[in-house]
Amino acid sequence: MKLHFLLMTLLLARVGYSQQVDTVESTIQLIDISSKVSKTVHQEQRHIEAPNWAPDGKYLLVNSHGHLYKLPLDGGKMEQVNTGFADNCNNDHGISPDGKQLVISHSEKGEGSAIYTLPIAGGTPKRITSATPSYWHGWSPDGKTLAYCAERNGNYDVYTIPAQGGKEKRLTTTEGLDDGPEYSPDGKYIYFNAFRNGSMQLWRMKPDGTAQEQLTNDAYSNWFAHPSPDGKWIVFISYLKDQGQAHPFGRDVKLRLMSLADKKITDLTPVFFGGQGTINVPSWSPDSKQVAYIQYRVIPASK
């Protein structure tokens, strides 16, 4: 959500969005990266965001209206996850590498987002970050470290913290938004997006913040680099028009695929209506063959 949460809120208010009458239709899709064919696994007149693919491949984890839900991929109904007192979760959530824990970003009343962990089956969340706002994005392959975007002293940067809690470490210091940090499956890199030189592009660095390297340099606004479990690909979302440092809901976007062998980029999807919520968090299938994402449609509010 970050600093542009307000922009999204205002946009949805203009189209009649509310907790009572949802005027956003969400279509959850799975796309095969070889054939580039998508299939719909869920469609509902409700604002749903950020699919994570479970390590066992059996369900997706999504958020909607402050709660988390499991969506079985065998055709079952969405089931709410027990997150205890955490009823204001945003779309920065995920699953630990061993599949035993959930991580959420939840905002207490009157306080910014903080990061919590809880058992995969649900339960009482344990607070990990003391400072706010903090938005989770990555879990190290060994399960020991969390990577996240956080605002401290007026600037959003990438931080890490022990998964059990402790002292946070700042990895980026450049002016402008640094966001979406995610570990490579071998733990050698953290991929992220950064607004530098007037453009939002994809970068990577070593886990200690050194050797920062720009990966994309084009006319798109590129966000949320998600490495595949086999380490061969990155999938990311590209806004067709420059969005500055924002990643708003309700824009023309497409998913693109980068081969890490040669850095070649190809379109994975045609252009669709999406943005915030489409692919904020890790969303690869465990076998690296498919990606889960969400398309949206705004339904005019009835008079």
Per-residue pLDDT tens for 258-282?
999 999 999 999 999 999 999 999 9
pLDDT of residue 299: 94
Lowest-confidence range among 15-24, 123-132, 163-172, 206-215? 15-24
Is residue 81 within 8 A of residue 61, CB to CB? The reply is yes
Structure tokens at 175: 């002016």
Please check the confidence at residue 75 and state whether its pLDDT lies above 90. Answer: no
With bands split at pLDDT 50, 70 and 90, how would you rate the model's confidence at 221? Answer: very high
Structure tokens at 107: 């905002």
Share of the chain above pLDDT 70, in %: 92
C-alpha of 229 from chain center: 16
pLDDT of residue 301: 76
Which fold would CATH assign to domain 2-18+25-291? Answer: Neuraminidase (2.120.10)
Average pLDDT over the chain reads 93
Structure tokens at 193: 């997006």
Domain locations in the chain as residue ranges: 2-18+25-291
Residue matched to tokens 């079952």: 76
Please check the confidence at residue 3 and state whether its pLDDT lies above 90. Answer: no
Is residue 234 within 8 A of residue 258, CB to CB? The reply is yes
What is the average per-residue pLDDT within 163-168?
Answer: 98
